[in-house]
Structure 1
Amino acid sequence: MGQLHHRPISLLSPNALILVLAILVIIGVFLPWARSPLLLFPNTNPSSSLLPSVSDWRDYSLAQAAEFVAKDGTVIVCAVSYPFLPFVNNWLISVSRQKHQDKVLVIAEDYATLYKVNEKWPGHAVLIPPALDSQTAHNYGSQGFYNFTSRRPLHLLQILELGYNVMYNDVDMVWLQDPFQYLEGSHDVYFMDDQFEIKPLNHSHEFSIPDQNGRTNICSCMIFLRPTNGSKLLMKKWTEEIQSQPWSRSNKGNDQPALNRALRKTLDQVDLYLLPQSAFPTGGLYFKNATWVKETKGKHVIIHNNYIEGYDNKMRRFHDFGLWLVDDHALESPLGILESPLLLFPNTNSSSSSSSSSLLPSVADWRDYSLAQAAKFVAKDGTVIVCAVSYPFLPFLNNWLISVSRQKHQDKVLVIAEDYATLYKVNEKWPGHAVLIPPALDSQTAHNFGSKGFFKFTSRRPQHLLQILELGYNVMYNDVDMVWLQDPFQYLEGSHDTYFTDDRTTIKPLNHSHDLPIPDRNGVTYICSCMIFLRPTYGAKLLMKKWIEELQSSSKSFEGNDQPAFNWALNKTANQVDLYLLPQSAFPTGGLYFKNETWAKETKGKHVIVHNNYIIGYDNKMKRFHDFGLWLVDDHALESPLGKLE
């Protein structure tokens, strides 16, 4: 038997061939699953459980996330909005160099951050509702910044209540050494002083003595807490202090003064520990006192880039001091390289050479991309095709786009993103074809038919359309639960102001009138607000303004969606607007197309746009598209400008 261990194995021998075949079978079975980021890295943290199964990162809870990332009972937390992702990456590089990246949990303050981080690093980001507006969350002194920072003690308290130690860092920090070696003893709370007056190297670790005005200036940006009664008490008191002095124009603050008040008020009940200044210096000392920096060289542990305002200023200072690591060391971060979609694809619009469309404008962030810029970029022959969508419905957007692309009209599509996750995802895949018209909505509720969130989502439609008309463009609006079977533009006969479809299921003759239908016995028409074509005429603009008025009417402020108000507006302006009802055989409602098989057969070949309405629920809509052979994404995703959305 000993000789067999030394016998050379020929690749052409029967045993070797069987072994190779077995390996190929295993690869063939399991490799396709690797397309899912959740399964590519099922467990990168040896001390935590497997990543829990969640169908959408919106459903990922803080308890699940903390359990997944915790190591040795500890979680490292940062909170961030999308514009600061480069700073997260910079901070993560420094944390990774100290071998602590596995226990990092990114608290995403918007959906764009939630999905981007979990796309790159599954399981390491969680969003604790509500999502914030990332446009304002990083502007120091603004109400958005106050809202962003004031949630900090609530997040930390929740983690403490789960039983974990927690270290919080702002992402404008860089680790030069391992900070955990400085957490001496078993105190409740560890923190750093934000004063830049120099302390002796052997200074006291007790809470700072207040100044002559009775104030202290402990930094709220670097804290370590143990899950003790003392720590929890401090977090609760911090929350109380924030709530007692909310943001106002005269009090444009952040959460730090409230932390200091809470520290002073709980001083006798909480075991506090002030970290050494030489190891945890404030930015006002480290970046502004070169002599002190030289004298304490080798002692610095975490550097905080504060005492300076502005994204660009912070980045420049990190660059100047050799602390901007992202440019040369991005692969040391779990997030890897975060490329700017604006630079990757400066112009992907094949129609941009036409006189109606220009090159993609230079914008530093998609948040700054205006509707005027977007419409100019996508417009072709003076026309823009518009849809509005929230993140959960991106698969339906992709399905619709495949059908639009088959009719060669995709270049003039503009996606009105109702949340930042959609804005960044679409522009990452298809630069310039998505715009967000503030404020962003909560994508958790925007797609639930009949909810107030759905009403807010649909009720903005006439405002969006009016803005595009005012820019001088024709505009076609579609809901994304539609599929194009033919080119709809050939049916826009004449030069009417407004073209629309009837949402009733009553069968019309093939040669029916194109006038606004006669109201029923209750004085109601049932025109669909989901497929409209408008020319930039006085009549079309008047209709949009009346639609907006009807939505704002106090007696009709909540009807579940915008369609009743649209019908009231049509009836009230019928004598002032040139209206055109599109043929039912070409633009059938879902209640007819999907529910009347005889009619569908009799009108076969005439159908142009099919609307998947008269059914409620994401899964139900998808199933019906599947059943009727209209779910195109599974086999034809590459025909969409967005490609495959993993």
Structure 2
Amino acid sequence: MAGRREGPLMRIGGQHSRGSRIAIAVAIGVLLGCVFAFLYPDGVIKSSRSFAGSNSARLSQVISSSCASSTERIKTLESQLAILTGKNRELSSQVNDLSMKLQIAGQGNTKALYKAGAFGTVKGFRKNPVVICDESVNPRLAKSLQQVAINNELIVALANSNVQSMLELWFTSIKRVGIKNYLVVALDDNIESFCKERDVPVYRRDPDEGIDSVAKTGGNHQVSGLKFRILREFLQLGYSVLLSDVDIVYIQNPFDHIYRDCDVESMSDGHSNATAYGYNDVFDEPAMGWSRYAHTMRIWVYNSGFFYIRPTVPSIELLDRVADRLSHEPKSWDQAVFNEELFFPSHPGYEGLHASRRTMDIYLFMNSKVLFKTVRKNSSLKKLKPVIVHLNYHPNKFERAKAVVEFYVNGNQKALDGFPDGSE
């Protein structure tokens, strides 16, 4: 069977159609080329790179700007946080002060002013607020205290010529330790001159007919009774006072070892942990049969020759009570009255003092009974370094005080050996 063959017309028509398509394709190509040439005069690849580079630079700039902005924001937030933290502390302090004032204002008020917290979270206030300074009480003393006191506190001792030797040993030990905030209240002209000649801060009281004779010629107990009246002015001026007798040797700075959390912080006449800090003493009365044993709480007295007192209302009330009783009970011992007013509770016919109190560490604030009966005989306790030693239990104070200096300051381990335990 013969194959199909195309005629002349068919061949001519097919060639014409193919040529037209090629021409159209070429025209389209030229047109697209013109368009690309117009849009991308630097070439498509270079433009793409330029575009990519531009985007990369722009992205880098955005990131850098964002980081800088974040750093500044962090700094701003940290600053704001510090400010808020400070304000929070300030507000907390104000809340505590207001709460304390509320508690004080509510004393004696039968209406409840606040409610108790959860079990185990309730704690009463021990630290009463200080009084407002009243310089009109004694402008001259106020000026002296501004020059001597540090952080509104100082050591104060009263002295007349009867204790001049002990006074010199006293302020010599204070100077040795490096204590600057101390003051001698001179009760006569001789002591005033004596202190000034030795560059010792001194304050001479204005004449007072009621007590001048006692101040100039009185013995230890009589002079000791004056201090409660004199101290009142210090507290009214807003100063905390570490009241000190002159039969004390300073080994360290006492202000580094005071808690300042109570109205009165005192050294003890106790000679052991039990006697100084309190113990349960059982009284036995066989005649009572099965109830023969009665439990009592006991504590040895605070020493009125060395105590720290804050300028609070209860503290001033304590001084007023003791001074008033001593003025009407001339045979009373100031230390006994001091403790009675500080510790006796309210009872029928008597309203007790609402003052908070703390007992000082007996091995840091050491009385001479602790030293001579216990410490010097114990190899471990002998290594302890007390803050002060008070020669309150012994009559030969000056000799024992010099021995204390030899032992604790000069390192003479045998300096205390020649003294008896007591006063025999």
TM-score by length of 2: 0.52
Q: CA deviation at 1:261?
A: 0.8
2:259 equivalent to 1:181: no
* Residue of structure 2 aligned with 1:137, choices 214, 218, 225: 218
SS at match of 1:77: strand
| Residue in 1 that maps onto 2:231 | 156
Q: 2:173 & 2:280 partners in 1: Cα distance?
A: 32
Q: 1:233: how far off?
A: 2.0
Give the equivalent residue in structure 2 for 1:620.
Answer: none
2:329 corresponds to: 245
Residue aligning to 1:526: none
Q: Helix, strand or coil: the match of 2:168? A: helix
- Separation in structure 2 between the aligned mates of residue 111 and residue 208 of structure 1, nearest angstrom: 47
Distance 1:210 1:62 in 2: 46
Deviation sequence 1:234-257 (CA, Å, 0-9, x none): 21222233234212xxxxx53111
Which residue of the other structure, out of 222, 237, 256, is the alignment partner of 1:147?
A: 222
Corresponding position of 1:305: 391
1:277 aligns with 2:362: yes
- Structure 2: how far apart are the matches of 1:133 and 1:239? 14
Q: After the TM superposition, which residues 599-638 of structure 1 pair with which residues of structure 2 at under 5 Å, given as runs?
A: none
Using the TM superposition, give the Cα deviation of residue 258 of structure 1 relative to its aligned residue in structure 2, in angstroms. 0.8
- Output the CA distance in 2 between the equivalents of 1:115 and 1:61: 18
Task: Supply the AA of the counterpart residue of 1:225.
Answer: I
- Equivalent residue, structure 1, for 2:37: none
Distance 1:119 1:98, change over 3 A: closer
Q: How does 1:310-321 map to 2 (within 5 A)?
A: 313-321=396-404
* 2:250–2:387 contact (8 Å) kept in structure 1: yes
Structure index of larger Rg: 2
| Deviation string, structure 1 residues 539-566 (Cα, Å, up to 9, x no partner) | xxxxxxxxxxxxxxxxxxxxxxxxxxxx
Aligned twin of 2:38: none
Contact 1:230 1:270 in 2 (8 A): yes
Give the Cα separation in 2 of the matches to 1:242 and 1:236.
Answer: 10
Match of residue 340 from structure 2: 261
Aligned equivalent of 1:116: 194
User: Could you tell me which residue of structure 2 aligns to residue 225 of structure 1?
Assistant: 309
**Alignment match, 1:287:** 372
Q: Which runs of 5 or more structure 1 residues have no equivalent in the other structure?
A: 1-58, 139-144, 248-252, 328-646
AA of the residue aligned to 1:84: V
- Distance in 2, matches of 1:73 and 1:179, equals 15
Q: Deviations for 1:13-36, whole angstroms, at most 9, x for unmatched residues?
A: xxxxxxxxxxxxxxxxxxxxxxxx
Q: CA deviation at 1:325?
A: 10
Q: Deviations over 1:462-512 (max 9, x none)?
A: xxxxxxxxxxxxxxxxxxxxxxxxxxxxxxxxxxxxxxxxxxxxxxxxxxx
Deviation at 1:297, TM superposition (A): 2.8
Tell me, yes or no, if the aligned pair for 1:90 and 1:324 is still in contact at 8 Å: no
Following TM superposition, the consecutive aligned residue runs of length 4 or more in structure 1 with deviations greater than 6 angstroms are: 207-215, 324-327
State percent identity of aligned pairs: 23
For 1:190, what is the secondary structure of its paired residue?
strand
Q: How does 1:535-614 map to 2 (within 5 A)?
A: none
CA distance in 1, matches of 2:327, 2:379: 38
Query: Per the alignment, in what secondary structure is the counterpart of residue 270 of structure 1?
Result: coil
Listed as ranges, the gaps of 5+ residues in structure 2 are 1-137, 283-295, 346-351, 411-424
Supply the distance in 1 between the matched residues of 2:157 and 2:142 (Cα, whole angstroms).
16
Contact in 1 for aligned 2:156/2:185 (Cα 8 Å): yes
Counterpart contact for 1:94–1:176, Cα < 8 Å: yes
Deviations 1:53-87 (A, max 9, x none): xxxxxx99433322221121112100111132222
Alignment partners' CA distance in 1, 2:386 and 2:201 = 31
Structure 1 counterpart of 2:218, one-letter code: A
Q: Which residue of 1 aligns with 2:6?
A: none
Instruction: Tell me the residue number matched to 2:247.
Output: 172
RMSD: 3.4
Q: Which has the higher contact order (CA 8 A, sep 6+)?
A: 2
Query: In the TM superposition, what whole-angstrom CA distance separates every residue of 1:506-557 from its partner, at most 9, and x where no partner exists?
Result: xxxxxxxxxxxxxxxxxxxxxxxxxxxxxxxxxxxxxxxxxxxxxxxxxxxx
- Matches of 2:364 and 2:372 in 1, distance apart? 14
Report the TM-score, using the length of structure 1 for normalisation. Answer: 0.35
Tell me which residue corresponds to 1:199. Answer: 273
Conserved in 1, the CA contact under 8 Å of 2:156 and 2:243? Answer: yes
More helix by share: 2
1:88 maps to amino acid:
L
What is the number of residues matched between the two proteins? 250
Residues in 2 aligned to 1:62 and 1:229: alpha-carbon distance in whole angstroms: 20
Contact 2:214 2:223 in 1 (8 A): no
Distance 2:365 2:379 in 1: 12
CA contact (8 A) 1:191 1:275 kept: yes
User: 1:210 deviation in Å?
Assistant: 9.1
Number of the residue aligned with 1:88: 167
Partner letter of residue 222 of structure 1? F
CA gap of 1:123–1:285, structure 2 versus 1, over 3 A, is closer
What is the alpha-carbon distance in structure 2 between the residues aligned to residue 127 and residue 105 of structure 1?
12
